[in-house]
């Protein structure tokens, strides 16, 4: 086994790929030797310097961890991400190297479900359009036409996991009829199950994506599904941008095949198609579904506690692999 070079502090060395929540970073700085990869002007040289001592990688959604990064830090044995989704991590490469991977489920469920409901309301009631209408003085010249009600409508949830269930509870509280699509029926759930995504899209007013990213869901919302959702339907995405065929989405919104969209995630964040920014039937958010102070603090604490457990020889709290 390769002998590790210990930092002068005597504390285990952790490489931060990108910044995480400040309070968690402060704790990491206290308990570990922390190297900040995003601050390095010569990334390759930094990885060479840290290769012997680095034992852990910590990252966030905007900090991919690929096979090359793992190979550059051969003594890393744990990757802790401050996300619930792990599509930014090469899990197969981690498995081959015997690297433990942890994430932060549960603690962000309620915040993401809140934002999904907020997007439904914003799209249906045209909150952003109405806000701009008042700010630009248009209200003194004309009135806005009526919009659609949320209560009494039919919503389809794509991916009825923790977040999907939390959103469904909120939708039901707004007197929305809830149905869902997923790889299998949930035995203890009373909502109507669809085993055909296009059939669900045809029947609902809102299609809400709370599914995880990855190969199994890649571009599952394609042009055909969007056409089935139709000119009176709306797509809401708080899952992953990779789940939607983004060019097809843009085309459907521009030509009226799809009525509206509320998006918190995109295929190539932070870059989004310029056409989306010009559309009034779209609400655009910068991937902030979990971005409440309370939620991000809890996510950061879980990252730290996973690292503490691993370095103490205990089972980690929330393993992926």
Distances (CA, A) of 17 to 9, 20, 100: 21, 9, 16
Query: Considering 35, 103, 170, 240, which one is annotated as catalytic?
Result: 240
Report the C-alpha gap between 174 and 113 in whole angstroms. Answer: 14
Query: Considering 148, 198, 287, 308, which one is annotated as catalytic?
Result: 287
Q: Are 249 and 222 in contact (CB under 8 A)?
A: no
Q: Is 154 one of the annotated active-site residues of the chain?
A: no
Q: Is 287 one of the annotated active-site residues of the chain?
A: yes
- The residue assigned the tokens 């979990």 is 290
Report the C-alpha gap between 163 and 212 in whole angstroms. Answer: 10
Query: Considering 29, 40, 269, 275, which one is annotated as catalytic?
Result: 269
Structure token digits, residue 181: 């699509």
Distances (CA, A) of 221 to 58, 126, 163, 217, 227: 31, 23, 18, 8, 10
Length of the chain: 321
Q: Are 258 and 282 in contact (CB under 8 A)?
A: no
Sign of CA dihedral 295, 296, 300, 301: negative
Q: Report the first-to-last Cα separation within the chain, whole angstroms.
A: 22
* DSSP code of residue 152: T
Q: Is 269 one of the annotated active-site residues of the chain?
A: yes
Looking at the annotation, which residues are catalytic? 240, 269, 287
């Amino acid at each position: 086994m390769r002998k590790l070079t210990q930092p002068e502090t005597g504390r285990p060395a952790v490489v931060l790929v990108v910044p995480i929540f400040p309070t968690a970073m402060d704790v990491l700085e206290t308990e570990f030797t922390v190297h900040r990869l995003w601050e390095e002007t010569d990334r390759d040289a930094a990885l060479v310097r840290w290769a012997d001592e680095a034992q852990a990688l910590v990252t966030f959604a905007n900090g991919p961890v690929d096979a090359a990064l793992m190979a550059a830090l051969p003594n890393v044995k744990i990757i802790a991400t401050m996300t619930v989704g792990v599509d930014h991590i090469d899990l197969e490469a981690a498995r081959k190297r015997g690297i433990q991977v942890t994430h932060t489920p549960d603690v962000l469920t309620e915040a993401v479900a809140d934002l999904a409901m907020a997007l439904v309301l914003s799209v249906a009631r045209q909150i952003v359009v109405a806000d701009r209408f008042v700010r630009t003085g248009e209200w003194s010249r004309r009135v806005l036409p009526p919009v659609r009600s949320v209560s009494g409508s039919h919503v389809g949830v794509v991916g009825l996991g923790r977040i999907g269930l939390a959103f469904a509870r909120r939708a039901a509280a707004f007197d929305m009829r809830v149905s869902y699509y997923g790889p299998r029926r949930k035995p203890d759930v009373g909502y109507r199950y669809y085993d055909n995504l296009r059939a669900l899209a045809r029947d609902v007013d809102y299609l809400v994506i709370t599914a995880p990213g990855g190969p199994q869901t890649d571009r599952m919302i394609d042009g055909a599904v969007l056409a089935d959702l139709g000119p009176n339907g709306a797509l809401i995405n708080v899952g992953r941008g990779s789940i939607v065929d983004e060019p097809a989405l843009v085309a459907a919104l521009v030509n009226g095949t799809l009525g509206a969209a509320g998006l918190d995630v995109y295929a190539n964040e932070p870059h989004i198609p310029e056409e989306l920014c010009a559309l009034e039937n779209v609400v655009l958010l910068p991937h902030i579904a979990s971005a409440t102070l309370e939620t991000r603090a809890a996510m950061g604490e879980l990252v730290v506690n996973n690292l503490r457990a691993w370095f103490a020889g205990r089972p980690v709290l929330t393993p992926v692999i």
